[in-house]
Amino acid sequence: MKGPDMEIMLKEGPFTLLRLDQEDESLLLLGDRIIVPAGACQEIIRILHLPHQGLTKTKQAARQLYFWPGMNAAIKNAVTSCQACQKFMPSQQPEPLHQIQVGGPMEMVSADLFDWAGQSWLVLVDSYSGYLIASRLFSINTDIDFCPGGRMEREKFRYRKQEQSESRARPLPILEPGTNVLVQNPITKLWDTSSKIISILDSSRSYVISDGEKTFRWNRKFIRPQNPPIRLGEIIAVEVLQCPASEKSTRLFPRLSKKKSVSFHI
Ligand SMILES: [Zn+2]
């Protein structure tokens, strides 16, 4: 970190105070890392996260150059609240398949919609025998939108077949009504629609959600809680309140407290 235009003013343990000759300002270092004053943390996080590389890489980049109390928590809050990163989050894992015991024919049937030859159809399947009944639909209007449309239905069917063959299935946390969520588009895979949980169906596997205009029934796998956007200044203020940077720096480097003033250059 030390360059030809820098001079060591003070060194104690892992801490070093460097004076920048050209600008009459100082750098406080912890090892080779710059100790960032509270007022500059917001801008540092913003710059580090410009490539939107996710939490791990943003933390790694920060640890290489900077230090301030509560740095990891501040970066985590900023990255998990980043709207751009949430849009491109990976798909969630499939949930385990339900095992249902059926006692006899037509005791339980499954229903779904599909398009074929330009027409909409309703299909019923007896869970006991596998007997199938298909009936053409002349209207698919309903209060609850099952997302009719051949392509989307085929995508949902393909996802279900994938889930059956994947062994990494595990339950997803239950979401409470009123929770703001992001909905994944099953075709583009982007989490690009904001909605709110209205109610829970089917033992927390399906949810009725609303985007403010329409109501949908959607599978839990394609819904995840939305982290609200947070202004970085608010995050830093909270972190500084929990662990004041000035107090910790003074405790770790007591001789600094004897100085009248120390300026920092970032
Ligand atoms: Zn981001």
Model pLDDT for residues 150-192, shown as the tens digit of each residue: 455 556 656 666 655 556 788 899 999 999 999 999 889 999 9
Q: Tell me, what CATH number does 10's domain have?
A: 1.10.340.70
Determine the Cα–Cα distance for residues 207 and 219; give it in Å rounded to an integer.
Answer: 6
Portion of the chain with pLDDT greater than 70, in percent? 71
Cβ atoms of 214 and 145 within 8 Å: the answer is: yes
User: Is position 102 within any domain?
Assistant: no
- The 3-state DSSP class for residue 119 equals strand
Q: Could you tell me the distance, in angstroms and rounded to a whole number, from the CA of residue 164 to the centre of ligand 1?
A: 32
- The predicted model gives 12-16 an average pLDDT of 81
User: Is position 104 within any domain?
Assistant: no
Q: Could you tell me the distance, in angstroms and rounded to a whole number, from the CA of residue 42 to the centre of ligand 1?
A: 14
Is 147 in the same domain as 189? Answer: yes
Q: Could you tell me the distance, in angstroms and rounded to a whole number, from the CA of residue 183 to the centre of ligand 1?
A: 18
- The 3-state DSSP class for residue 234 equals helix
Q: Could you tell me the distance, in angstroms and rounded to a whole number, from the CA of residue 170 to the centre of ligand 1?
A: 27
How deeply is 79 buried, as exposed, middle or buried, from its count of CB atoms within 10 A (0-12, 13-18, 19+)? buried
Is 15 in the same domain as 43? Answer: yes
Q: Could you tell me the distance, in angstroms and rounded to a whole number, from the CA of residue 43 to the centre of ligand 1?
A: 14
pLDDT band at residue 6 under the 50/70/90 scheme: low
Is 212 in the same domain as 247? Answer: no
Q: Is the pLDDT of residue 206 over 70?
A: yes
* pLDDT tens figures, 80-97: 889 888 999 899 988 887
User: Is position 157 within any domain?
Assistant: yes
Q: Could you tell me the distance, in angstroms and rounded to a whole number, from the CA of residue 233 to the centre of ligand 1?
A: 16
Is 219 in the same domain as 233? Answer: no
Is 151 in the same domain as 172? Answer: yes
User: Is position 100 within any domain?
Assistant: no
* pLDDT tens figures, 223-255: 999 987 765 544 444 443 333 444 444 444 444
Is 143 in the same domain as 212? Answer: yes
Is 116 in the same domain as 216? Answer: yes
Is 77 in the same domain as 23? Answer: yes
Range with the poorest average pLDDT among 42-51, 56-65, 199-208:
199-208
User: Is position 64 within any domain?
Assistant: yes
Is 114 in the same domain as 205? Answer: yes
Output the pLDDT for position 142: 62
Determine the Cα–Cα distance for residues 13 and 207; give it in Å rounded to an integer.
Answer: 57
pLDDT band at residue 194 under the 50/70/90 scheme: very high
Q: Could you tell me the distance, in angstroms and rounded to a whole number, from the CA of residue 214 to the centre of ligand 1?
A: 29
Q: Which domain holds residue 49?
A: 6-82+229-258
- The predicted model gives 92-112 an average pLDDT of 84
User: Is position 265 within any domain?
Assistant: no
- The predicted model gives 185-210 an average pLDDT of 90
Is 38 in the same domain as 121? Answer: no
Is 214 in the same domain as 250? Answer: no
Output the pLDDT for position 42: 85
The count of domains in the chain is: 2
Cβ atoms of 65 and 211 within 8 Å: the answer is: no
Is 196 in the same domain as 217? Answer: yes
Q: Could you tell me the distance, in angstroms and rounded to a whole number, from the CA of residue 58 to the centre of ligand 1?
A: 9
User: Is position 156 within any domain?
Assistant: yes
Q: Could you tell me the distance, in angstroms and rounded to a whole number, from the CA of residue 92 to the centre of ligand 1?
A: 18
Q: Could you tell me the distance, in angstroms and rounded to a whole number, from the CA of residue 211 to the centre of ligand 1?
A: 23
User: Is position 266 within any domain?
Assistant: no
Output the pLDDT for position 248: 44
Output the pLDDT for position 195: 95
